[in-house]
Every structure is written in C-alpha cells, then in structure tokens.
Amino acid sequence: MSSETVVTEIRGKLVTTGASVLIELEGKRIAKISPFDHQESNDEELWIAPGLIDLQINGYAGYDLNLSDSSMEERIETIRLMVDKVLESGVTSFCPTIITAGYEQIYDSMTALRLACERYSVVDETILGIHLEGPYLSDQDGPRGAHPKEHIRDPEWTEFAKWQYVSGGRIRMVTIAPERSGAIAMIRELARAGVLVCIGHTAATHEEIAAAVDAGARMSTHLGNAAHLQLPRHPNYIWSQLSEDRLSASIIADGHHLHPSVIKVIARVKQDQLVLVSDAVHLAGMEPGIYRTHVGGEVELLPSGRLQLVANPLMLGGAAVSLSECVQCFIRFTGTELSEAIGMATIKPAKLLGVQQIGVVEAGYWADLILFAWDKSDGSISVRAVIKRGKQVYSKR
C-alpha cells in the first residue's frame, strides 16, 4: 500500500488549458493555482487533471462488492482494500455498484458499504454514493446481461426504502427498466427523493422510454450494451434513448463493449451529455484466464481485456479495464480532445450526481488530483501520481 504522504504543491500542465501551473494545497483542499515557468525545470512535464470519477464500479483487482457468503467483517475489509486499488488506478471518486440479487444479499451489501464508510474516512471520501443496478430490470436474455434471472423482479418502493435506510441514505443512482410493472411510479418517487434515475437493462418500447423520462429518468446506463443480439431496425430502445435529448448517457468505451463506430455515433449525438464509466468487475486488473463468478457462471478474461461468458462468448460478463483506459480508447475512437474526454470522466459525472467540490481543478475544491503522462501518438495515458484529499496515495516514477 502507498505511504500516503501529505502533498503541499504540485507542478504540471493543466489539462483544461495546457498551461504550466503550480498548485498549492492546504490540508485537503486546493489553495492556490499560479502560472509556472516549466523551462526552469528539466523534469518531464506531466499533465494535471481532477481525479477521475466513475459512476459504475462493481469490483476491482480481485475485490468484489457483490459478495455472497461472506461475513460482514470480510465485506467491510474488501471494500476498504478495493477503495485503495481503485484510487491507485486514478479514480478518486466512484459509485460502488450493487447488482441484482435477493433481498437479503442486497441488504447486506448496503449495510457493508455504510459500515465501511463509517469506519474509514478514505472510503467515505471516495464513495460518492451507491449505484443500485437492479433488480428491477428486464428478464429477457440480452437486456438482462449477466444479472441473475431468478432475482429480477418488479419495482417495490418499500423494499427499496429498506435498502436506502440501511445504506444510510447512500443510494444516489438507480438503474431501472421502465417497462416493468410499477416502474414509472417508482421512477417518479426516486427522482423526487433526489436519486439519479437511469434507464438500463431494458427492452422498453419508445413510449415506455418517453414515459420514464417524463417521470424523471435522466440517464441511460451503458447505452448500447445489455441489448438483444438482434433488434428491429427502428424504432428500438437504442434509437429511442439516443434521440431523447433529456437523457444523458454513460458508455463503456473499453474497446470491447461497443464497436468504435457506435461510440463515435453516441459521442456525436449526446455531445456534452456523455459520461464514461468503466463498469469494472472484480476481475479488472487480474491475469487472463477462466474464472467462476456469481454474475454469469464461468467467464473468460482474454489478454485484450475482453471478459466474456464461457457458455456464450458473444455475451460479455462485465468490463475489466480501468476508467483511464476507457478515456484513451474514447479519444482514439472519436478524435475527441484530451481535455474534453477527461471532462466526461470528471466534471460531467459529478454534475449528473449533483456533487460539488470535485471534478475541477480550482482553488477551494477538494485536492483530488492525478498526474499523468500522455502519449499523443497512440493516446496512451499513464497515471504517475494520485492525490486524494491532499495526500499522495499512489506514485509511479
């Protein structure tokens, strides 16, 4: 684990402007940003960006948030260890994502997240809110993705309220399929409660999607994935979400979940309403091989980072690359400027969630920062240092 040294100043090229700056930190916050003449220094000049913000992480580096058959103590420690690994990847804030499971299982996951936040300040400061993805989803093969069919069901407010209570009010995002019985009323209630409602894992009609948006849904979860292998040419739920101007969209731009042409089209259509997510599962960052998971039985992680179901290699079993890798894929596929692509993984998700004080490098904001090298020729981003609330939690020389 990192030594967590206190940082008082950093120098580098600000990703938003390209200007060389000296950033002074005071405690956990950015105190002052001033111009800096890099010519005086012989070091390689690194880029400075806000720490990345990921709205969808299921697990990382072998640590799984959607554990079953584990003691509460094991769950809490798993969360703590996972947060450390996520921080090292350059993501300084994220939404742990709890997927479809039985009532008790989700209840325990929510409890563990609350207890981990109460016990460890770094966990509390890194977790923006919980993303509940399921169980109110489509049970059709394709839209269902790798969510266990036996636990998929219609929305029920009292059930959700118990999970929300035991999480300490931390559920800030819910992904729901609008076509389920009671979904529209549920969306209205969630939106009224200030929860970011997302459409996803759905086989909804055009009208059902419109009704969900009227009721307060504001985002599409990993648009283009969790879909049938074949769709009517039009209308279909992908066109309907693409064309709905009131919907932002998240995408998994890992090079496996969406063809580059689709990423380019979604980027052009959604423009500044697009956010990048990793949707990383616990196998992200692990060695290639065949693994057994509760999500989709046996899955195979290929050297390319593609994670597929052994029983049906056409179906993906989640994502296994970090958000910084998604940013570089996105730039490669769309030709988007570095600063804009970084914005889709920092300020835009922060705004969608309504979180202040992060996602921007500005005096007064939290000192959540990354330093990275960027190779313009192949777009590769190499995270060299991560600062979380004024402390260096990762560095690679």
Binding residue positions for substrate: 146, 225-226, 233, 257, 316-318
Furthest CA-CA distance within the chain: 65
Residue with tokens 């958000």: 323
Bridge partners of residue 309, in order along the sequence: 299
Q: For 4-20, b where at least 16 C-beta lie within 10 A, e where not — what string?
A: eeebeebbbbbbbeeeb
Can you read off the two tokens belonging to residue 333? 């596929």
Q: How many residues does the chain have?
A: 397
Side-chain-facing half-sphere of 31: CA atoms under 13 Å: 10
Residue with tokens 């998700």: 349
Sign of CA dihedral 359, 91, 328, 231: negative
Q: Which residues are annotated binding-site positions? A: 133, 146, 201, 222, 225-226, 233, 257, 316-318
Task: Name 295's Cβ contacts closer than 8 Å, sequence gap at least 6.
Answer: 58, 66, 99, 146, 147, 148, 281, 317, 318
Can you read off the two tokens belonging to residue 350? 């922060």
Report how far residue 208's alpha carbon sits from residue 303's, in angstroms, rounded to the nearest whole number: 40
Closest Cα to residue 208, out of 232, 240, 239? 240
Report how far residue 201's alpha carbon sits from residue 146's, in angstroms, rounded to the nearest whole number: 10
Calculate the alpha carbon distances from 21 to 17, 24, 27, 126, 159 in Å. 10, 10, 19, 26, 50
Question: Pick the catalytic residue: 124, 279, 368, 378?
Answer: 279
Rounded to the nearest 10 degrees, the angle between the axes of helix 206-215 and helix 183-192 is: 30
Bridge partners of residue 13, in order along the sequence: 20, 47
Q: Which residues are annotated binding-site positions for Zn(2+)? A: 133, 201, 222
Instruction: Verify whether residue 272 is a known catalytic residue.
Output: no
Can you read off the two tokens belonging to residue 380? 């590769």
User: Active-site residues: which are they?
Assistant: 279
